[in-house]
Amino acid sequence: MSKDIRLDRRTFIGTAAAGLSVASLSRPALAQGSAGRVVVIGGGFGGASCARALKSFNPALSVVMVEASKTFTACPFSNLVIAGLRDLKQQEFGYDNLAKTGVEIAFTTATGVDAEAKRVTLADGTTLNYDRLVLSPGVDIRWDGLPGYNEAAAAIMPHAWKAGEQTLLLRRQLEAMDDGGVVVISSPANPFRCPPGPYERASLIAYYLKTKKPKSKLIILDAKDVFSKQRLFQNAWKALYGDMVEWVSLSNGGKVTSVDPAAMTLTTDFSTYKAAVANVIPPQKAGHIAELAGAADRSGWCPIDPVTFESKLRPGIHVVGDASVAGAMPKSAFSANAQAKVCAAAVVTMLANGKPPEPRLINTCYSVVAPDYGITVAGVYKPTNGLLADIDGAGGTSPLDAPADFRAQEARLADGWFNTITAEVFG
């Protein structure tokens, strides 16, 4: 196959060089020597990956990325920071290398999107016109989603679901806690960022408690009856931490219905739990700009076309990463990165009036339950009936009965994955 294509490519370049305009295939912008302008909002795993891929796929494209923070703090592996096993600095990445690829970066907040006029408004009132817009705003906390929990409460009962100061706050609280204290984690109903995250966090906090404060206890109050990699986590808890970790499912009354930060209590339908340290992982929704752009539906998330990631609500706007409704794909950094590259290819192709081919996407989520004990869930996805669906027979979790060296190898691969994906996106 490749031989034929190479020949065709040479022929085509030759023709183009001889004066037959490439614009015969495409839109007026191309004829003017510009391939078009794409604005990307959000500089996380989705947005930064997309901006870089857009520029790589078509260097003539003008790509502007809008991101409020000059330093990105990665959520994957931040549970290791909470457990004292990693420095927050190792989670931080800048955008200098992304800028070197030709992506323009506007370090500010996007405050509005006019989908009709194809225009983004920034915090200082300036506007950016676009031919296509990519939103990768991640998640926002639903501050009205759990009675008693608001921004002030988060300073006492940290969510630590956006890495940074919240991560360090939870770590400091654990360090200050007396041996014998009760740590309570509240885990939300689906969907939310990083489905295995609350359970990885529980594992690593248990590791910290076991090694530093062995008389302590950890309770997970859950708004679900099933969760990601459940058997693997539960087996590991029993094997590594004995009775230290208690999981209370939805049907056992685990759903937290209100919190009281002054009393340090979390209330469920059946009882009230007093915590020495409370980690409230609250309900979430797509980042606010998605709502402002009209790309979020009543669920708070953004339905998308599974081939192009174009919004089903707002033509010309694409949504990738945690904010999107990506069917079977979980809200993970790996998913966001994979989606961003497929979306970038689709955007470049659509700007040239081409038809994007049907993609395949992969996700792999590593969870570390102890420093030498990693577990994974993987999936392969294709567009099916308007959603990204699992390809039957592929994917699944690590084996339940794997030996210790398999778990150790997955822990090493987890580390390698973090190095690889952050090098691709920010390196």
Partner 1 sequence: MPVRSFFAAVLFFAIAGNARADGLDAPAGALSCSGCHPASASVQTPAPRIVGRNADDIVTALLAFKSGKAPGTVMDRVAKGFTDDEIRAIASWYAARKDQAQ
- Is 398 a binder of partner 1 (CB under 8 A)? yes
- Is 403 a binder of partner 1 (CB under 8 A)? no
Q: Tell me the number of residues near partner 1 by CB under 8 A.
A: 63
Q: Which of 360, 371, 372, 387 binds partner 1 (CB under 8 A)?
A: 360
- Is 26 a binder of partner 1 (CB under 8 A)? yes
Q: Please choose, out of 78-86, 184-192, 212-220, 356-364, the segment that lies near partner 1 by the rule CB under 8 A.
A: 356-364
- Is 195 a binder of partner 1 (CB under 8 A)? no
Q: Please choose, out of 88-96, 232-240, 260-268, 340-348, the segment that lies near partner 1 by the rule CB under 8 A.
A: 340-348
Q: How far apart are CA 233 and CA 145, in angstroms?
A: 27
Q: Which of 122, 264, 328, 391 binds partner 1 (CB under 8 A)?
A: 391
- Is 401 a binder of partner 1 (CB under 8 A)? no
Q: Which of 31, 99, 189, 423 binds partner 1 (CB under 8 A)?
A: 423
Q: Which of 132, 159, 229, 341 binds partner 1 (CB under 8 A)?
A: 341
- Given the complex with partner 1, which of 56 and 249 has the nearer CB atom? 56
**Residues binding partner 1 (CB under 8 A):** 1-2, 4-5, 8-9, 12-13, 16-17, 22, 25-26, 35, 53, 56-60, 334, 337-338, 341-342, 345, 348-349, 352, 354, 357-364, 376, 378-381, 391, 393-396, 398, 406, 409-410, 412-413, 415-417, 419-421, 423-424, 427
